[in-house]
Amino acid sequence: MTNVKLAVIYYSMGGTNYQLAKWAEEGAKEAGAEVKVLKVPELAPQSAIEGNPVWKSHVEATKDVPEVKLDDLEWADAIIFSVPTRFGNMPAQMKQFLDTTGGLWFNGKLMNKVVSAMTSAQNPHGGQEATILSLYTSMYHWGAIVAAPGYTDPVTFGAGGNPYGTSVTVGQDGKMIEDVQAAVKHQAKRTVTVAEWVKKANQ
């Protein structure tokens, strides 16, 4: 296999999207990729984090996860994003990071990156599909190649059937309702495979 370099970039308050990112890392490594798991910088004030025990605990648990840099985007052949939904859109933290990529975009450093996205919400129709599509809108401007899972494997149906990217419902107890681990790993492997095709074609 071509040595595909994958950046899994996430934002997470309670840990759901961090877990999705870790499953994506597992799937990609099984496919032979070199993987970096990276978080976007936090924008919320420390007082807000301190006032939420779950949020505070997750921040502490992931303090050693490196923050994404623009160099990581240039390094990567493929990128998987994982974010919670915010009114059908990506969180401000992810949007702020994407808004810093103009220089790379202008210099053609983001074209032909293979990208895919995942999300979570507190109910099945809480903006999951729209959130993934909001991320893909930015990717189209990059000239990136979107590797959506579609219905390329039956595991997608077991995870709720979202063809745009794996999405999961999170209950009031903070636990995932659908079993999406296999779907995430399939999506990661598919992203790596498409990136391999693109990389080979460009050699």
Q: What is the dihedral of CA 193, 199, 201, 203, to 10 degrees?
A: -150
Interval 3-14: pLDDT, tens = 999 999 999 999
What is the spatial distance between Cα 111 and Cα 113, in angstroms, rounded to a whole number? 6
Interval 143-171: pLDDT, tens = 999 999 999 999 999 999 999 999 999 99
Question: And the tokens for 191?
Answer: 């992203």
Domain ranges of the chain: 5-201
Backbone φ and ψ of 125, nearest 5°: -115, 35
**Is pLDDT at 1 greater than 80 in this prediction?**
no
Listed residue (42, 46, 59, 16) closest to 96, CA to CA: 42
Predicted local confidence at residue 77, as pLDDT? 97
- Mean pLDDT of all residues in 95-111: 97
Count the Cβ atoms, other than its own, within 10 Å of residue 1: 11
Q: Is-contact 175 19, C-beta < 8 A? A: no
Instruction: Classify domain 5-201 by CATH architecture.
Output: 3-Layer(aba) Sandwich (3.40)
Question: And the tokens for 95?
Answer: 């949007």
What is the spatial distance between Cα 86 and Cα 17, in angstroms, rounded to a whole number? 13
Q: Is-contact 85 162, C-beta < 8 A? A: no
- Mean pLDDT of all residues in 86-112: 97
What is the spatial distance between Cα 132 and Cα 160, in angstroms, rounded to a whole number? 15
Interval 42-54: pLDDT, tens = 999 999 999 999 9
Predicted local confidence at residue 130, as pLDDT? 97
